[in-house]
Amino acid sequence: MCGIFGYLGNKENSTEMVVEGLKRLEYRGYDSWGLASILQEKPAIEIVKKVGKISDFKGKKFAKSHIAIGHSRWATHGGVTQVNAHPQTSEKGGIAVVHNGIIENYQELREELAQEGHKFKSETDTEVIPHLIERYIELGFEKAFRKALARLKGRFAIVVVGEKQETIMAARRGSPMIVGKGKDEYFVASDIPAFLPYTRDVMYIDDNEMLIIKKNGEKAEINFFNLKDNSEIEKRIVEIDWDYTDAEKGDFDHFMLKEIMDQKETICRAINQDTKEIMKVAERIKGAYGTFLVGCGTAGKVCMAGDYFLSKIAQKHVNFVVASEFSAYHHFLTDKTLMVVVSQSGETADVLEAMEVAKKKGVQILSLVNVEGSSIQRQSDYSFLINAGPEKAVASTKAATSQLSLLLMIAYAVAGKLEEGRKLLIESASKINDMLNPRYLTYIKAVAEKIYEQENMYIIGKGENYPMALESAIKIQEVSYIHAEGFAAGELKHGPIALIEGGVPCLVLLSKDENYQDVINNAVELKSRGGYIIGISPENNEVFDQWIKVPDVNGASPIVNIIPVQILAYYLAVLRGKNPDMPRNLAKSVTVK
């Protein structure tokens, strides 16, 4: 979850660079933050730690330093306090560590170290790491780090510096970490936007690997090693096709609104795929003995919609499973099974664990990800980039519609109608471009102003719009904190209609298909119980108290229908005084279980 950024190079303002890098990573964690710098004028570590958002920090003048590491925290072990913020240090203070992940055996290690006389200051699992390194320091800094790593169980990304050491060391197992290569300088980060203003050349660290960056005169040198046998590894440099401005808000107040508006372009980028590769995957789906669609959160709802797409368009039965529940289905997996995983970050812990289960049975894996070189992409047999560009708001918007678009196009390819599907999506993207204009935003904001004080909200949909009803609830919950629930429209009389009372907002997702009249009838039932009906539909209906118009795009309706809900959720959050980019208790990429 947390944000990590480190720098070693020839610039003397490394600490300021790390502060700015952490601000670009704040979507990964914003409970607290901290820095560790190796000072130039004297061989000592300067530590700065604060509670709160680093974006609120207006800065001080830091001492000159060529080496610094930093961390923005999303608390897992220990409360949100300055003491618990990273970096965590060794007992003598000469070693500083930032860490993302969970050390599963930290209690055992802490007890062991305490018996040797080590005194701990924080409640974190991270603090055992510098204490372990200090225990072995007589072996030398590098050997002590390796020996400490060998004692750790769990998923982690760790970066460490030491006083009198012109070195950064880092290692990963299950949590993301990426290296950026600049001119005579290197960056270590948990995500690419941290160093995007400086370089687009990256090197990916795999699980059970470590790296050492050292100063060599005016230059920096880097070496990678396999933790299992200490052998040295050669790394390929990959150029990332992201523009720095894509990771900035520009004239928008929040990243969430910017990324909603980016959907004018991102859907076309998502479907700009190699036809041969799409058809190869389509043939693999047709020939699979069991296909599973697997994801978490918003990506899970996208997978659920993909289930409908493949059933309706290609008459192909597939199985949608939430990633954290996938292990229950391992009995059905064979080497003829295909697993389709969806993840914006490509680092989602539950998805990676589901993939481990599948790989043990010889399952082939297709992934849809947004980050080139991510763990999920590298562990897949086939992979497509959704090409949405950096998505920094915690609530996924443009990545979700890009994922939906690509799955819809794959469904058409399985049906042997790829060009028909591509044409539909191009036409839909054009209509979305027309829809996303200032007047449309103003209208939806006016709808939000009528309902933002409500504490409950319900959303219904049928067919492929049912998953979007569930996704709509996620969007509203996570940014506005309104209690929202999505239901299959036909399930109302089986329990949920008991929740409806006078004035409760009810969103109704509709498309002009065979389900239209059924859903209208369900909306009438909601209204007769006092519901305030907000119709999201290509055409108005007398049952609607408010109508939010969407284009008529036939089978692509889930893509256009979710966009006004994204906008509504955004304005509900703003009107309620919440920051839609940084909802409480949440972080962008769920890299811990």
**Catalytic residues, which ones?**
2, 588
Nearest residue to 370 (alpha-carbon basis) of 254, 246, 490: 246
Joined tokens for residue 64 = 């000159």
Amino acid at the residue 308: Y
Q: Which two tokens stand for residue 511?
A: 């498309």
Residue 91, CB half-sphere, CA atoms under 13 Å: how many?
16
Give the integer Cα–Cα distance in Å for 409 and 29.
Answer: 34
Sequence-distant (6+) residues with CB within 8 A of 244 are: 196, 197
What is the four-CA torsion angle of 23, 199, 385, 302, rounded to 10 degrees?
0
Nearest-10 crossing angle of helices 557-575, 418-435: 30
Strand pairing partners for 213? Answer: 168, 222
Query: Is the Cβ–Cβ distance between 483 and 455 less than 8 Å?
Result: yes
φ and ψ of 362, to 5 deg:
75, 20
Pairing state between β 291-295 and 319-322: parallel
Which of 86, 16, 22, 80 has its CA nearest to residue 51?
80
Please name every residue paired with 383 in a beta bridge, in sequence order, or none if there are none: 367
Strand pairing category for 167-173 and 209-216? antiparallel
* Nearest alpha carbon to residue 51 among 27, 72, 88, 82: 82
* 36 torsion bin: left (phi>0), alpha (psi -120 to 50), beta (else): beta
Q: CB of 306 within 8 A of CB of 340?
A: yes
Q: Which two tokens stand for residue 341?
A: 């995983």
With contact defined as beta carbons under 8 Å apart, do 527 and 440 qualify?
Answer: no
If residue 506 lies in a helix (H) or strand (E), which one and from where to where? strand 505-509
For 436-465, the DSSP string reads -SHHHHHHHHHHHHHHTT-SEEEEEE-TTH
Buried b (16+ CB within 10 A) or exposed e, 323-340: bbebeebeeebeeebbbb
- Asked if residues 359 and 365 have their Cβ atoms less than 8 Å apart, the reply is yes
* Alpha-carbon span 297 to 216, nearest angstrom: 45
Report the C-alpha gap between 395 and 379 in whole angstroms.
Answer: 26
Q: Sheet of 483-488: strands edge to edge?
A: 483-488, 456-461, 505-509, 532-537, 546-549
Q: Are 341 and 351 in contact (CB under 8 A)?
A: yes
